[in-house]
Amino acid sequence: MLAFAKDITENQPTTAKESENDELKQYMEYQRKLNSERLVYHALDYAKTHLHLYTQKTEGDEKKLADYTQNAFPLSHRFADGETLMLLLRKLVNGHSASNNWYRMNAYYYALVYDSLKRFVKIYNQLIVESPDKAKEYGVSEGIEVDFDDWAYLYFPDLDFHIGQALDYKHYPFAKRNKAIEEEVNNKMQAGSSREEALNSLKADYELDDTGIKFLLGKPISSEDKELFFTSVENPIYEALSEEGDGSWGEEGESLLDHSYYMGSHLKVWEWRTREEVEAETESVMKELGKTPLN
């Protein structure tokens, strides 16, 4: 199974405060109508199947295949050709289907999963409206559209692979981090550092890893980075998320999961507001939760 920021096999999440907050309760009821494991599987399977079909259709025409991958995989086509993307998708599907291990992804894989999910969710949501019976066959949700931006906020540990690319205000916590990194890199480059030197100097402050830096430098994926590292499902990799806090951050008795859903509910409720209102109020909530751009 692929390891995201949260356990995608948990389909009935609850929070400590939803009984006291109608907006949070409504948000959590929406979450409980999703099956994230099925969503990820079908997104990857759709991407793999259609890449295979288009590869056959182009009959070796590299230009047509490149045009297709650029459109279907706007982030990940930059570091891999069609053949390599197919290999990575197969690894992802196989890892996702394995029940005995958690598979940890790097920036290259996260970018590919992001591309695949964003594309599939658009198609799935169209089916919900136009062909609900067909949509039901996927088992992704209980007859509701999937909010991709909300899902990305909850399940991706960061969107560092999006640095340098525009992010919608609904990704505000990630966008703030990305903007901070980008500004520091630009300042260091203006002072004479190379982009690689600038990124490496920020590794400790922003917990950037070597693979993520290679991605941001536009380097093609290496053989080493094609590997998915794994650990046994018996390893409680999500246990810390459910531990209740002692009040040193947020409110006493609340977990990191509670905080994450609480923040997600605010972003969801604020969709109709202006960007300025969202950013101002998100800053307030982030301070309340003790959530910094580094988290």
Structure token digits, residue 47: 């991407």
| First-last CA distance in the chain | 24
> What tens digit of pLDDT does each residue of 77-135 get?
999 999 999 999 999 999 999 999 999 999 999 999 999 999 999 999 999 999 999 99
pLDDT tens by residue, 120-178: 999 999 999 999 999 999 999 999 999 999 999 999 999 999 998 877 666 778 988 99
CA 217 to CA 220: how far, in whole Å?
9
Average pLDDT over every residue of 55-66: 90
Token pair of 207 as six digits: 């917990």
Residues in the chain: 295
Q: What is the pLDDT of residue 164?
A: 86
Nearest CA-CA partner of 267 in 24, 17, 7:
24
Q: Domain residue spans in the chain?
A: 21-233+256-289
What pLDDT was estimated at residue 47?
98
As to burial, measured by CB atoms within 10 angstroms (0-12 exposed, 13-18 middle, 19+ buried), residue 282 is buried
Residue type, 83: E
Q: What is the pLDDT of residue 57?
A: 92
Percentage of the chain with pLDDT > 70?
Answer: 87
Q: Angle of helix 256-269 relative to helix 22-31, nearest 10 degrees?
A: 100
Beta bridge partners of 102: 231
User: Regarding predicted confidence, which is higher, 132 or 253?
Assistant: 132
Q: How far is it, in rounded angstroms, from Cα 47 to Cα 208? A: 28
pLDDT of 67 over the 90 cut: yes
Dist. CA 12–CA 9, nearest whole Å: 9
What pLDDT score does 272 carry?
A: 45
pLDDT of residue 278: 54
| Least trusted range by pLDDT, from 77-81, 246-250, 279-283 | 246-250
pLDDT of 60 reads 80
Cα distance between residue 127 and residue 124, in whole Å:
5
Pairwise CA distance, residues 259 & 289, whole Å: 7
Q: Using an 8 Å Cβ cutoff, are 103 and 235 in contact?
A: no
Give me the helix-helix angle, 275-289 and 256-269, nearest 10°: 160
- The answer to whether the Cα torsion of 159, 164, 170, 172 is positive or negative is positive
